[in-house]
A and B are shown apart, each in its own frame.
Chain A
Amino acid sequence: MLPDQLKDHAVASALDAAFPGAITGGHTERNEPTLWVAPARIVEVCRFLKDQQRFIRLSAITAVDWLPADPRFEVVYLLHSLERNQRLRLKCWLSESECEIDSVTGVWRTADWYEREVFDMFGVRFRNHPDLNRILMPSDWEGHPLRKDYPVHGYKYSYQDE
Chain B
Amino acid sequence: MRETTLRTDSITATDATLETVGQIASPGTSKRMILNMGPQHPSTHGVLRIVLELDGETILKAVPDIGFLHTGIEKNCEVKTWQQVVTLTDRVDYLSNLSNNLVYALSVEKLIADIEIPPKAQWMRVMLAELQRLNSHLVWLGTHALDIGAMTMFFYCFREREDILRIFEMFSGQRMMTSYIRIGGLALEPPRGWQQVVSKFINAFPSKVDEYEELLNNNPIWKRRTQGVGFVPLEDLLDLGVTGPMIRAAGMKWDVRKDEPYSSYDQFEFEVPVHTENDVFARYRVRVEEMRQSARIIKQALEGMPEGAWQAAAPKIVLPEREKMKTQMEALIYHFKIVTEGFRVPAGEVYQAVESPRGEIAYYVVSNGTSKPYRVFMRTPSFGNLQALGPLLEGRLLADSIASLGSMDFVLGDVDR
Interface residues of A (CB under 8 A from B): 29-30, 32, 34, 56-60, 62, 64-65, 76, 78, 82, 85, 87, 89, 108-110, 112-113, 121, 131, 134-139, 145-146, 150, 152
Contacts and interface: CB of A to CB of B under 8 A. Distances in A.
Contacts of A110: 239-241, 384, 387
Contacts of B351: 32, 78, 87, 89
Given A110-B240, A131-B14, A62 B416 contact: no
A82 to B, nearest CB: 6
Contacts, number: 89
Give the interface centre of B254, B353, B377 by most chain A CB atoms within 10 Å: B377
Interface stretch (B71-79, B162-170, B171-179, B185-193): B71-79
A64 B366 CA distance: 9
B350 interface: yes
A65 B75 CA distance: 12
Contacts of B364: 60, 62, 76, 78
Nearest to A152: B79
Interface in B112-152: 113
B379 interface: yes
Given A30-B348, A82-B252, A109 B387 contact: yes
Nearest to B68: A136
A81 to B, nearest CB: 11
Contacts of B349: 29, 32, 34
Contact of B360 (A59, A62, A137, A150): A59
A63 B364 CA distance: 10
Considering the complex of A and B, which 5 residue pairs feature the smallest CB-CB distances, nearest first?
Answer: A110-B241, A136-B67, A60-B379, A62-B377, A136-B70
B57 interface: no
Contacts of A109: 236, 239-241, 387
B209 to A, nearest CB: 29
Contacts of A112: 387
Contacts of A64: 366, 374-375
17 contacts: A30-B111, A30-B350, A32-B351, A56-B239, A57-B238, A59-B241, A59-B384, A62-B379, A64-B374, A85-B260, A108-B239, A109-B236, A110-B239, A113-B383, A137-B67, A145-B75, A152-B78
Contacts of B75: 145-146, 150, 152
Contacts of B50: none
A110 B379 CA distance: 12
A82 B254 contact: yes
B307 interface: no
Contacts of B384: 59-60, 110
Given A62-B364, A146-B75, 10 more contacts: A29-B349, A32-B350, A56-B238, A58-B241, A64-B375, A109-B241, A110-B240, A136-B416, A139-B18, A145-B75
B396 interface: no
Nearest to A146: B75
Contacts of A136: 66-67, 70, 416-417
B259 interface: yes
Given A59-B360, A131-B14, A108 B70 contact: no
B387 A135 contact: no
Given A145-B72, A152-B76, A113 B67 contact: no
Contacts of B45: none
Nearest to B70: A136
B274 interface: no
A29 B79 contact: no
A30 B70 contact: no
B225 interface: no
Interface in B12-65: 14, 18
A89 to B, nearest CB: 7
A49 to B, nearest CB: 14
A138 B66 CA distance: 10
A29 B75 CA distance: 25
Contacts of A30: 110-111, 113, 348, 350
B392 interface: no
A145 B77 CA distance: 13
B362 interface: yes
